[in-house]
Structure 1
Amino acid sequence: MWFPSQMGRIAAKPFMLFSALMLIKIYLVRYFIWGTTELWAALLAGLPSVWVFFCLAEWLFAKRKFYAYLVLDFLISAVYIAVTIFYKYFGVIPTYQVLKQIGQVSEVKGSVFSLMHASFLFLFADIGLFILFLSSSRAFRKWIENGKAIARIRGNGVVLSLSIVLSLFSMWLNKDIVNELRQAEVMDILNYEVFAAVASAKEVQGDPTEVTQKTIDELKHLETGETSTPLHWAQAKGKNVIIIQMEAFQNFLIDLKLDGKEVTPNINRLAKASYYFPRFYQQVGQGNTSDSEFVVNTSLYVPKHDAATMVYSNKQLPSMPKIFGANGYQTATFHTNDVQFWNRNNLYKALGWQKYYDDDFFGNDDIVMFGASDEILYQKTAPELLKMQQSGKPFYVQILSMSGHHPFNLPKRKNNMKLPQRFENTLVGDYIRAQNYADKALGQFIDELKRNGVWDNSVVVVYGDHLGLPKYTLNAREKGLMKEIYGREYDVQDMLNIPLIISAPGATPERFPQLGGQIDLFPTIANLLGISIQGQIHFGQDLLNNDTNVLPERYYLPSGSLITDNGIFVPGNGYEDGESYSFASGKTTKPAATRQQFDEALRLLRLPDSYVRNLPDRKEN
């Protein structure tokens, strides 16, 4: 075979061959993630980090050098494709901390595979060709297996030294960039991974004694001290509390009609009959759903690098289950998945739930996604709530819906909605169909609670746990469908927007315009029940008594991002080159945050890191 023979001659200089291949891959990854097409950036930022590994291969492998390069090619390509897939859902560049969650991948493999794109396979194309040549051409194998035929590059030490210097200079030059995504772009992927690992190891924890409620309130510009009884104080005193966390439920679904047909008729009716907060936002991190449970029940921000379940579940966490339990409430949480998924078995102990219900209780009938369907969830939960009410003590429970999980491949038996043809075979259409089913199951649950008498004696809270449609994942057709829904381009101000609905006995329906986040649920519900949380550190605020808010964001937006009453601010290298998004019209030149708000938000995020890590360790129980 002529072609493999010629390839064998080229393979005699693997440094040059694989450098050219890696330059192409660096270029492709930069295009997939940032849409940039500057070849010089790939050459100056990306190639030196690859050369460090190639030079080491030159030193360590006198023979079978080609195989060493091939292994490095595979490993680096695997990093590139993993980073690309991760970005397409989360919009962030993963670091080594994500490896701690590798055990969860088997549970969400459907979501992972759905993010694969045929173009990503170009990153492995050369490896496939080399394997083909190795298996089919004796001439090719002879060239690469002949140690003498593979020349050592001249000046290997000089190239290695220069590569290390260039990589370190890139890290040093860009170390102060606040926005991690921008930092990874200018450093390039491999340099950024090394920098992130070193920076994380060198992080200095703050002084926990600085974390006081007064400090928090001052940073948020809230009035301190109790000057009068808050509005709605004890409005629902002694009532049950039912929190329903809807999987991947975004706010645009409410009142949405496709060709005149309602998508979520049951939630629409509930919103119209309750307190409804349309400007409510997610604040989760790596743990997604489990992080939402953490934030809602503690009023603390998620950790910077990890899922809260993984790093905070060994602590004695102040929480809503503990406070409400101390005030005479029974507490329990309901989720159809295995309690060990995302380390919930330990998180639930740290939060102080008195009881949990998982797949051992709900069984394996009518499976949708990772467990029993939402219908089974609600059918089996309703009788338990009635039993708890009949005990004579109020209860606080959290119920986790799950059938609307990405990638929204709802079984046909659950398909209750005929989509307009333009939505068929799209992620947007699959998402809407899955949420239509989730809405139907919730409606059945509400009807049952009204029938058995639990509803009229309960505060019912419904909110989304996190986004369902990342803008990074959508193709051109799907972006067009979202533009049809919104009447403008779909962007970050829409992506993170989830609904909050609070139904309380005797409450007059009202639509609240103020900004809120998941961190605000704890103080808001406590106010409704007349349960004081004075003396307990909380970073949220009572939404029924505050008209202004600031929400620092992590993970789904770069560090330094925050949501204010004016919109969403995302930093660039720092504050000065940041971008702003208005709630109504998208990207705008009017700053959504002041420099003071930006600095205060960064400080707010640092406070709970030191506070939680210095809490007493939880005793095993």
Structure 2
Amino acid sequence: MGWSRLLSGFSKKTFWFSPFVLFTITMIFKIYLAAFVIYDGELLRPLLTGLPSIWTAFALVELFASRRKLAVYLIVNLLLTTVYFAVIMYYKYFGIIVTYHALMQIGQVAEVKGSVFQLLHPYFLLIYVDIVAAALVLIFNKKIRHSWNKLSNRRFQPLGAPFALFVSMFAICVLIVWPNRGIANELVQNERMGILNYEVFLMATGGNEKLLNPASVNQSAINELKGISEVVNPVGKDAAKGRNVIVVQLEAFQNFLLDKTIDGKEITPNLNKLLKESVYFPHFYQQAGSGNTSDAEFLTNTSLYVPLRVPATEAYADKALPSLPKLFRAQGYEALTFHTNDVAFWNRKNLYQALGFSRYYDRAFFGDEDIVHFGSSDEVLYKKTVAELKKQAEAGKKFYAMIISMSSHHPFNLPEPKNKISLPDRYQDTFVGDYIYSQNYTDYALGVLFDELKAGGLWDNSTIVIYGDHMGLPIYSLSKTDLSLLKELNGRDYNDAQMMNIPLIISAPGALKAQVLTQTGGQSDIMPTIANLAGISLAGTVHFGQDLLNQQHNLLPERYYLPSGSFINDREIFIPGAGFSDGRSIPLTKADKSGNAASTLEADQTRSTRSEFDRALKLLQMSDSYVRSLPAYKPDEGVPEDGSKSR
């Protein structure tokens, strides 16, 4: 059956102006625009995977839109275009393919509109040019509108649309989706399936998620997969027992900033000084997912992995989660959390309830003083937090306090008065320059925190834990100028290993000896490390991290910022392709005992194995299965109080 019969009633002249053909041509442009941004030069595959889904949508229009067909075509075109636009924008920051799950987070967009605009390249808007042009012509030219409507209402030969639909659906299901359904790497799976087919595949199947029997998830099985064993006499056990614990989570803070100077000026002078009296882990990596900062809070307090496509606050906030706040409260501590944004953002109120915090302090407590981005500045955060902690101490209460900094949030456009460092001209009006200004301010504000803690008599009797929540400089968003500045600053090309690398610093004055520990760690390891120092047993508490003071080897499964199947070990970051065999490795740069970069492991020194790949995927599967099996949170377990009402 040839095209002449399928398009019976169309002349050659009018054929090219039919909505089916015209919008197919414009959608091809959009397919390749997305491919240019995401797939780095793929030519044939985007067309072969993209056209069948476009033709399926348009064949459905031909079959079921008996009236106002042109308007329906425009609506379908707009919807498909918006999917491509969302995929492009999401990839530019997160390096992943957006899914329908992100629609549940649409309410957060207003809060981060500055980040959206920073990522928006003008040429991305060309993706809507055909829709805008068509709408303008139809609105202002009645003659064309009448002719095009008449042309649009001509019907295919009776079997034409069903035939086109059958062929497209067959190609999608049998030739495109089915052979690629088992790929763990979401980016490769999306590339092989095509953007629209991949989105429908996830909606129809939920992807590759397969849960285990939760009874099979126990600490012994977890340790075996990670390749570790329990330590009989752990180093550092009880070293900080009885102390207050203050955990500071730094917004978008990456490890490469520490001990760096620009034209002789330190970027992080206060943290550099703290390093000299702390335990410092330079090979520490983020494990956050789509919830970003809130996911980092979840990881730190539970030692469980984040869910695959949605924030932990959405997937797990109704669960009775085992956590550090609950463990400390069982020891008689108050468990407090401080954040200058509204507690409703990222559903934090429910998360804090599930984690067992006894009280939260949000924007209602900190007020509208000295606003930076979404709330009061870090300076206000730290001053008001320490004042509240002093009240706890004066009342004879020990506390576990989590403090969430926020002033260095993407897109790093600090108010001018907050710039505390003078950068040379080459950094002006660059993304990297703005990032350094913001993180220098982060360090400045930390100096305020340290001074307040010392002045308030809290410093010497506290264990202070500082780490970054997630990367700030996504490699997929950086210009050539930005990459050049980073190479100048770091002495090597910026890559995924540096992007994922955040610091972990633990200071307990008088209790911990300053040292640099070069083993690999991740955010899931914070809970067991703190528990060991505080003398809190994790027996009976399922956790996927490990005590970094007592384990020399690690296997860190990654998801979201790196595709599923990725992991970090002692030597490299491994990122799979369609499977293990076509994966790629990014060697880690190892530090010496002073914390300075010493060497980069060569390819023949990196020996990631299929076993590690399989075990990393199994660990994620075990965590998902375990958390979903947990009972629902019961209100009588203690709803956290609003700290603003305690004043």
- TM-score normalised per structure 1: 0.96
Alignment of 1:151-190 (within 5 A): 151-152=155-156, 155-169=160-174, 170-190=176-196
Structure 1 residue runs of 5 or longer lacking an equivalent are 1-7
Give the letter aligned to residue 250 of structure 2: M
Distance 2:32 2:266 in 1: 44
Q: Is residue 221 of structure 1 aligned with residue 221 of structure 2?
A: no
Match of 1:500, SS? Answer: strand
**How far 1:588 moved relative to its partner?**
4.3
User: Which of residues 585, 608, 615 in structure 2 aligns to 1:600?
Assistant: 615
Structure 2 residue 285 is the aligned partner of structure 1 residue 285? no
Task: Find the counterpart in structure 2 of residue 320 from structure 1.
Answer: 324
Q: Is the 1:580–1:592 contact (alpha carbons within 8 Å) kept by the matching residues of 2? A: no
Q: 1:556 to 1:463 in 2, by over 3 A?
A: same
Displacement after TM superposition at 1:535 (Å): 1.3
Q: Are the equivalent residues in 2 in contact too, given 1:336–1:372 (CA < 8 A)?
A: yes
Per the alignment, in what secondary structure is the counterpart of residue 315 of structure 1?
coil
Contact 1:236–1:505 at 8 Å: present in 2 too? no
> Could you tell me which of 535, 542, 548 is aligned with 2:547?
542
Once the two structures are TM-superposed, the CA of residue 200 in structure 1 deviates from its matched residue by 1.1
Amino acid at match of 1:492: D
Whether the aligned pair in 1 keeps the contact of 2:46 and 2:191 (CA below 8 Å) is no
- Offset of residue 145 of structure 1: 2.5
Contact 1:9 1:143 in 2 (8 A): no
Amino acid paired to 1:374: D
Q: C-alpha distance in 2, partners of 1:70/1:501?
A: 55
Shift of 1:608: 1.2
Q: Which of 498, 501, 504 is equivalent to 1:500?
A: 504
Kindly indicate whether the alpha-carbon contact (under 8 Å) linking 1:579 and 1:591 is maintained by their aligned counterparts in 2. no
Match of 1:248, SS? coil
* In 2, Cα distance between equivalents of 1:147 and 1:86: 37
Structure 1 partner of 2:578: 573
Paired residues for 1:438-453 under 5 Å: 438-453=442-457
Aligned length: 613
Segment drifting more, 238-247 vs 478-487: 478-487
* Per-residue deviation, 1:190: 0.3
Code of the aligned partner of 2:627: V
Q: 1:330 touches 1:394 (CA, 8 Å); kept in 2? A: yes
Residue from 449, 473, 477 that aligns with 1:469: 473
Distance 1:248 1:305 in 2: 20
2:33 to 28, 36, 45: 28
Q: Describe the SS at the equivalent of 1:599.
A: helix
1:17 to 18, 22, 25: 22
Task: Deviation per CA, 1:22-42: give whole Å up to 9, x if none.
Answer: 11110111011111241x223
Partner Cα separation in structure 2 for residue 312 and residue 487 of structure 1: 41
More displaced 10-residue stretch of structure 1: 76-85 or 472-481? 472-481
Moved over 6 A (4+): none
Q: Give the Å deviation of 1:119.
A: 1.3
Q: How big is the shift at 1:591? A: 4.3
User: Aligned residue for 1:350?
Assistant: 354
Report what 1:199 is aligned to: 205
What is the letter of the counterpart of residue 561 of structure 1? Answer: S
1:208 alignment partner, one of 214, 217, 226: 214
**1:60 paired to 2:64:** yes
Question: Which residue among 238, 253, 256 is the counterpart of 2:257?
Answer: 253
Q: What letter corresponds to residue 251 of structure 1 in structure 2?
A: N
Letter paired with 1:573: A
What is the alpha-carbon distance in structure 1 between the residues aligned to residue 207 and residue 179 of structure 2? Answer: 19
The answer as to whether partners of 1:579 and 1:587 remain within 8 angstroms in 2 is no
Q: CA contact under 8 A between 1:283 and 1:519: conserved in structure 2?
A: yes
Q: Is the 8 A contact 1:11 1:66 kept in 2?
A: no
After superposition, the Cα gap between the structure-2 partners of 1:110 and 1:582, relative to the gap in structure 1 and judged at 3 Å, is: same
After TM superposition, the score normalised by the length of structure 2 is 0.92
Q: Secondary structure at the match of 2:464?
A: strand
Aligned partners of 2:219 and 2:261: how far apart in 1? Answer: 44
- How far does the alpha carbon of each residue in 1:140-174 deviate from its partner, in whole angstroms, 9 at most, with x for none? 11212326764536722111100001111200011
User: Displacement of 1:66 after TM fit?
Assistant: 2.1
Contact conserved, 2:102 with 2:310, CA < 8 A, in 1? yes
In the alignment, what sits opposite 1:611? 626
The answer on whether the counterparts of 1:264 and 1:436 sit within 8 Å (CA) in structure 2 is yes
2:471 is paired with a residue whose SS is coil
Question: Which of 340, 343, 364 pairs up with 1:339?
Answer: 343
* Shift in alpha-carbon separation, 1:458–1:545, aligned structure 2, 3 A: same
In the alignment, the residues of structure 2 paired with residue 574 and residue 484 of structure 1 have an alpha-carbon distance, to the nearest angstrom, of: 35
The residue that corresponds to 1:3 in the other structure is none
> Contact 2:201 / 2:207 at 8 angstroms: preserved in 1?
no
**Structure 2: any 5+ residue segments left out of the alignment?**
1-12, 590-599, 640-647
**Residues 564 and 592 in structure 1, CA contact (< 8 A), matched pair in contact too:** no
Q: Secondary structure at the match of 1:146?
A: helix
CA distance in 2, matches of 1:571, 1:462: 31
**Structure 2 counterpart SS, 1:241:** strand
Q: Secondary structure at the match of 1:219?
A: helix
* Corresponding residue to 1:403 among 399, 402, 407: 407
Native 8 Å contact 1:65 1:150 kept in 2: no
Q: Is the 8 A contact 1:233 1:527 kept in 2?
A: yes
